A = this chain, B = another copy of it.
């Protein structure tokens, strides 16, 4: 946290609103970034295409150009949300899953924290879901065969030592910077003894790695089987600090955790690799409210802050987070998901006024 802010002259950010309310909340996040002024280098935005809407219009969900600009012309990115077809659509495949792999954004970091009524108080829920972002069932190796008793479909769930180790390191690194310093490994090795066994053992062994050299000795390790982890998340969320999980469990856990803090519309994430970071609100494209100007922009704005934090613009990130928390705490300017009546724009302006 005390690392020096890097000496970039410009900060080049790709914006990929994609579908639905992604097109409302990404512009909101951009406005928050623009309001940070001299806390950041000159900002350069690149508007990029992706999504299911794009696919229906052009046959491509993730244009090559989007990937190229991100890889070669951006320091970071913000992604909105994708819609899912209500039926299988030939040739369509989720662009967010593809982007995570293309850019090797192997860690999906999802902090879920409630806002304490008193700014100095301790939030009731304060945890981070660290989700492996490149493998598990997300490798999308599926086959379909026709047998005498009907169709049979198979999917491969891949868990490697390599990916489990790097996500494990990320989890320990994040835990080290937190007061509680605890990593809870989520698995289902009572059924998946080989795949989840490998995940569990590899993450457990991280503190003993020679290259780590005792760095994580102060971090505690716990573990939970995924079904009871979800149960306990609801009953006693305070037992968790950093939860590290294979891809699909992490997906489910982070939505579950979001329910604890009032709304998915509040929960940010970053997809992080060793050389790139992409912010992304945890919520989806919300087709039911799309285009109405009532989407909650706070998850996207917090995702922008989390992206900045990852790029080591800690002060700028803190300013955004404080402004967002103040708006929530004050409680006058909230969107419908939080029981308010304000529009997306009104909430953005409330945040900007506090920046």
Interface residues, chain A, with chain B CB atoms under 8 Å away: 84-85, 88, 93-94, 97, 137-138, 140, 142-144, 149-162, 165, 188-195, 197-198, 201, 225-228, 230-231, 233-235, 248, 251-252, 254-256, 258-260, 264, 284
Contacts and interface: CB of A to CB of B under 8 A. Distances in A.
A259 B284 contact: no
Contact of A155 (B150, B192, B228, B260): B192
A62 to B, nearest CB: 15
Contacts of A143: 194
A256 B256 contact: yes
Query: What number of copies of this chain does the assembly contain?
Result: 2
A158 B85 CA distance: 23
B160 A191 contact: no
Given A150-B160, A154-B158, A158-B154, A144 B194 contact: yes
A151 B163 CA distance: 10
B158 A153 contact: yes
Contacts of A254: 227
Given A138-B191, A194-B144, A256-B256, A160 B149 contact: yes
Given A160-B152, A188-B248, A228 B255 contact: yes
A155 B156 contact: yes
Given A191-B97, A226-B252, A259-B234, A150 B137 contact: no
Contact of A284 (B152, B156, B197, B228): B228
Nearest to A146: B161
Given A150-B160, A157-B154, A227 B255 contact: yes
8 contacts: A88-B201, A149-B160, A151-B161, A152-B159, A152-B161, A154-B157, A154-B195, A227-B251
Contacts of A142: 192-195
Residue of A97, A157, A252 ringed by the most chain B CB atoms within 10 A:
A252
A153 B195 contact: yes
Contacts of A138: 191
A225 B285 CA distance: 13
Given A191-B94, A191-B138, A252-B230, A225 B153 contact: no
Contact of A84 (B137, B190, B251, B258): B190
Given A191-B137, A231-B264, A152 B158 contact: yes
A328 to B, nearest CB: 17
B230 A255 contact: yes
B137 A192 contact: yes
Given A137-B157, A154-B159, 4 more contacts: A140-B191, A142-B195, A152-B160, A230-B230
Contacts of A153: 158-160, 194-195, 197-198
B84 A225 contact: yes
Given A84-B190, A192-B137, A161 B156 contact: no
Contact of A156 (B144, B154, B225, B235): B154
A199 to B, nearest CB: 8
A259 B234 CA distance: 6
